Structure 1
Amino acid sequence: MGTIIPGRIIGADADGITVYANFTNFEYLMDKEVCNCEVILRDGRQLSPSQRNKIFALVQDITKHISGGQKSEEFYETLTSMQLLYVIDLEDREEIRKRLTYNYCQLRGIDLFSLKERSPDTIDMTTAGDFIDWLVELCIIHGIQCSDSLIERCEDQQRYLYACVMQKVCCICGLPADIHEYDTVGMGRERRTIHHEGQRVQPLCRRHHIEVGQIGQNAFDRKYHVSWVRLDARACEQLKWKK
C-alpha cells in the first residue's frame, strides 16, 4: 500500500499533465525506492441543481413507497434489502435520505457527502450521477412507483435500460415488459441459430411493444428519447436466452 499525497494540476498540453505535490520526505522516496505514482483525476464540478432535484424526488418516492407499505413478509424483505429495516421513522424523508446516502457511500467505499451548495464536502457531479442511477436501480428492483418516468430521471440511459432488461420492466412506463428485439429476425439473422449476446434490445410492455410496431422504430425512439442496450452474457443468462 502506498501513501496518498494531495496535489494539483499546474499545467497540461498535448504531451500530458504536470502535477505539483507538496512532499519533502525524500528519505521515504529513497527507502521505498519510489519511482512511479498513480494520479486520480477528481471531478471538480459540484452537483447541478437538476441532479439535486432528482435525488430529492427519488428519495421522496422511496419514502412514500415504504411508509405506505403493508407490514408483510415481503415488506420487511424489501426494507432488509435496502438496509432500511432499523430506520425509526419510515415517513421521515430526510432520515431515509441520510440512510440511503450512508449505504451508498459504504458500497462505494467513499466518505459521506453533502447535497448543500458550495459546501466543503459537497458531492461532485460524477458521483451525483452514479448516486442517482443507484437510486433509480433500487426503484426498478423493488417495484417502486415514481411520480416521473425513470427514463427522465436517470443519468446514464444505458445503465437504466440494462437494469430494466434484468428486471423485465418497461423502460417507458415501468410495467412488466417483454424484450423487444431492436434488430428483427429477417435482417440477415436466423432465429433457430441466433446467439443473443451482443443483440440490441429494448425492454417494453405490451402496449409500447405494439406502438413501436405501429409507428416504426425511429419515430418511437424520437418520441420517447430512448435508445437501445446490447445484451451481455449476464443478461442472456438472466433472460434464459442463448448466448
Structure 2
Amino acid sequence: MYGKLISTQGNVVKIQLDEEMDINKLIKFANGKQPTVELLVDDGRHITPDQRKKIYALLGDYCLYTGYSLNEAKLFFKSMIADFFHTEMFSLSDCSETVASQMITTMLEFFFFEDIPFHTKIWDSLPDDFPRVMMCIKTKRCAICLKEHADIHHVTAVGMGRNRNEINHVGMYIEPLCRVHHTIFHTIGAKNFMAKYHIKPIKVTPEIAKELHLGKQKSEELKNAE
C-alpha cells in the first residue's frame, strides 16, 4: 500500500492511502497478530514510491495473467532488465530511478507485444509519451484507449488528395488513434485534444519513417522488392 504523509505527532504518524484499504486482506496478512508496517520516505535519489507502486501493479497483472508467483515474476523481469541494460541484479527497495524507469518501460513493451492486459491507469500516468506512442504505433493500438486496429493520425495535415504512400513523412507529427478518438480530435481541435488526453504526437525522423515503413520509404521498399 502507498500513500501520502499527512502529519506526525511524536511517534504517531498519519498517512492518507492512495486507495481504500482492503480490511479482509489486512486481516489475512496479519494472521491474528498486530500488523507491522514499514515507512519509507522518498529521498529523491532512489526508486520512488510511485515507481515501485507501478512496478508491483504490473507484476500483479503479469501474475494474474500467467499464474506465476510474485517472486517468479520479479526474478524474470529483473533478470531481463539486467541483461538488456548490462546492469547488476538490483533490489526494488533501493535501485536507482533510472533502473526503475527502465523496468517500467520494458515491462510495458513486453505486455504490449505479448498481448498481456494491464491496468490503463498505470499507462496513463507515465510521464514520457514517446515510448507510449511508438509502442502503440508498432502494435496498431490507439494511444488513448489502447483499442486495436488503430490508424496513424497525422497531426500535421497531409493535404486533400495527396497519396500518403508517396509523400515524405519526415518532419510530420503522428499518433495512432481509433476512429472514435480520430473523430474527437477533429471535433475539438489539436490543442484541446492534447490538453484533454495529455498525449503528445511524435515527430517522424528518417529512422522512424524507415522503421515504420511510412510514405516514400514504404514505396521505395516495395520497388526494391520487385
Asked if Structure 1 and Structure 2 have the same fold, meaning a TM-score greater than 0.5 normalized by the shorter chain, the answer is: yes
Residue 229 of structure 1: which of 179, 192, 202 is its match?
Answer: 202
1:130 & 1:191 partners in 2: Cα distance? 38
Q: Counterpart of 2:84?
A: 107
Distance verdict in 2 for CA 1:97–1:135, change over 3 Å: same
Hey, what's the Cα distance between the residues in 2 that align with 1:178 and 1:60? 31
Corresponding residue pairs, total: 171
- Closer/same/farther in 2, CA of residues 53 and 198 from structure 1, 3 Å limit: same
Give the match for residue 57 of structure 1: 57
Q: Is the 8 A contact 2:51 2:101 kept in 1?
A: yes
- Per the TM alignment, residue 197 of structure 1 is displaced from its structure 2 partner at its CA by 2.5
SS at match of 1:203: strand
Distance 2:66 2:154 in 1: 34
1:130 equivalent to 2:102? Answer: yes
Quick check: 1:170–1:203 contact (8 Å CA) kept in 2? yes
Q: What is the identity, as a one-letter code, of the residue corresponding to 2:88?
A: D
CA drift of 1:93 comes to: 2.1
Q: What is the identity percentage for the equivalent residue pairs of Structure 1 and Structure 2?
A: 29
Name the structure 2 match of 1:141.
113
Conserved in 2, the CA contact under 8 Å of 1:151 and 1:157? no
Question: Which runs of no fewer than 5 residues in structure 2 stay unpaired?
Answer: 1-43, 218-226
Q: What is the distance in 2 between the residues matched to 1:236 and 1:101?
A: 32
Question: 1:159 and 1:225, CA in 2 relative to 1: closer, same or farther beyond 3 A?
Answer: same
Q: Secondary structure at the match of 1:126?
A: helix
The answer to whether the 8 Å contact 1:140/1:169 transfers is no
Deviation per residue, 1:151-203 (Å, 9 max, x gap): 4243421122112112211111111111110111239x954652012321011
Q: Retained in 2: the 8 A contact 1:149–1:172? A: no
1:156 pairs, out of 125, 128, 131, with 128
Query: 1:150 Cα deviation (Å)?
Result: 5.0
Q: Distance in 2 between matches of 1:48 and 1:225?
A: 22
- How far apart are residue 96 of structure 1 and its match? 0.7
2:188 aligned residue (205, 215, 230): 215
RMSD: 2.3
CA distance in structure 1 between the partners assigned to 2:196 and 2:105 by the alignment = 22
Quote the offset at 1:65 in angstroms: 2.2
1:193-219 CA-to-partner distances (Å, cap 9, x unmatched) read 520123210111121111111111111
Matched, 1:178 2:167: no
5+ residue gaps, structure 1:
1-43, 68-89, 117-121
- Once residues 207 and 144 of structure 2 are traced to their aligned partners in structure 1, the CA distance between those partners, rounded to angstroms, is 23
Counterpart of 1:171, as a letter, is A
Contact 2:63 2:70 in 1 (8 A): yes
Task: Specify the alignment match of 2:45 in structure 1.
Answer: 45
Greater helix proportion: 2
